[in-house]
Structure 1
Amino acid sequence: MPRHRTASPATASYWRTCRAERNRAAYFTRKYGITTAELDTMIGEQFGICCICLDAPAEHVDHDHGTGRVRGVLCFSCNAALGQFKDRPDVIRRAAAYVEGNVWKPTLVAPGVYQLPS
């Protein structure tokens, strides 16, 4: 009896895997102008960890949205944080100062008059 037309052959999962790898390679070339070998090299140079938090695995390509230049490979959280800060160094510095407790500490200079740090 002939096999049903829609039944997948035993090699279907193999071909699906190959197609996924080709799609991944094409995505990095199209989006960032890098090959998967170059991406693997960058991850290796970072010892497989995120450049910012030095804790989580490096899995997401970070790039400058203005120039398109690839800066490195980050973890999901750090890459998302840079995106939320819109890659603005001044905002990132203020956020760091805020987290360190240096920004929002008003000083009482007179009764009812507070001075904020500059």
Structure 2
Amino acid sequence: MPDGLQAYCRECAAEYYRQRQEAKGKRVRERGQVPPGHKRCPQCEEVKPHSEWERNKSSSDGWASYCRACRAERNRVSYFKRKYGLGPAELEALVAEQRGVCCICLAARAEHVDHCHETGRVRGVLCFSCNAALGQFKDRPDVIRRAAAYVEGIAWKPTLVAPGVYQLPS
């Protein structure tokens, strides 16, 4: 209005908004009471104290949109979708297919997504140690085979042919 005030009071405007949204088939959340020092998380729909929220200076109330637990879960889901193209259901199916166990050591829990660094294709889900080991071996099968032979007691002593050039025994 020209005087800077609304035509309707806050309650009437809220009711009118609710009616318009419901006419469109959308659901409008009932506004509940939140005690001072608390905030409602839209994902878990719980009212939690400010100690369970991250600070966010750019938001109107100075707190993040989601509580710490929900925010961590949203970040985790977003990371796997962005990095590997896996949604939560696909990741759970991949782990369930392996029965929750690392494909290499068959002992530890499968928690880390393993992928080919050249193609980006997801190979499976490994434990931290096995995933790190593949990374240390630069995903090179020849190096992994030599490491396995070394561990099994077969000594592969390379012979220096020229500076930086080694010949492996056949």
Q: Same fold (TM over 0.5)?
A: yes
Query: What corresponds to 1:41 in structure 2?
Result: 93
Instruction: Determine if the alignment matches structure 1 residue 11 to structure 2 residue 48.
Output: yes
> TM-score scaled by structure 1?
0.79
* Correspondence for 1:69 among 99, 121, 124: 121
Q: List aligned pairs for 1:57-96, cutoff 5 A.
A: 57-96=109-148
Query: What corresponds to 1:24 in structure 2?
Result: 76
Query: What corresponds to 1:110 in structure 2?
Result: none
When structure 1 is superposed on structure 2, of 27-36 and 74-83 the one drifting more is 27-36
In 2, Cα distance between the equivalents of 1:103 and 1:117? 10
2:135 partner amino acid: G
Q: Give 5+ residue unaligned stretches, structure 2.
A: 1-34, 40-46, 53-65, 158-167
Q: Is the 8 A contact 2:146 2:156 kept in 1?
A: no
Q: Is the 8 A contact 1:94 1:103 kept in 2?
A: no
Structure 1 runs (4+) deviating above 2 angstroms are 7-10, 12-15
User: Displacement, 1:36?
Assistant: 1.5
User: Displacement, 1:103?
Assistant: 2.3
Select the structure of larger CA radius of gyration: 2
Q: List aligned pairs for 1:99-114, cutoff 5 A.
A: 99-104=151-156
Q: Give 5+ residue unaligned stretches, structure 1.
A: 106-115
What percentage of aligned pairs have identical amino acids? 72
Relative contact order: is structure 1 or structure 2 higher (C-alpha 8 Å, sep ≥ 6)? 1
In 1, Cα distance between the equivalents of 2:137 and 2:113? 17
Any idea what the Cα deviations from partners look like across 1:34-90, whole Å, max 9, x if unmatched?
111111111001110000000000000000000000000000000000000000000
Instruction: Determine if the alignment matches structure 1 residue 98 to structure 2 residue 98.
Output: no
> TM-score scaled by structure 2?
0.56
Q: Is the 8 A contact 2:113 2:125 kept in 1?
A: yes
In 2, Cα distance between the equivalents of 1:11 and 1:92? 50
Q: Secondary structure at the match of 1:66?
A: coil
User: Displacement, 1:102?
Assistant: 1.3
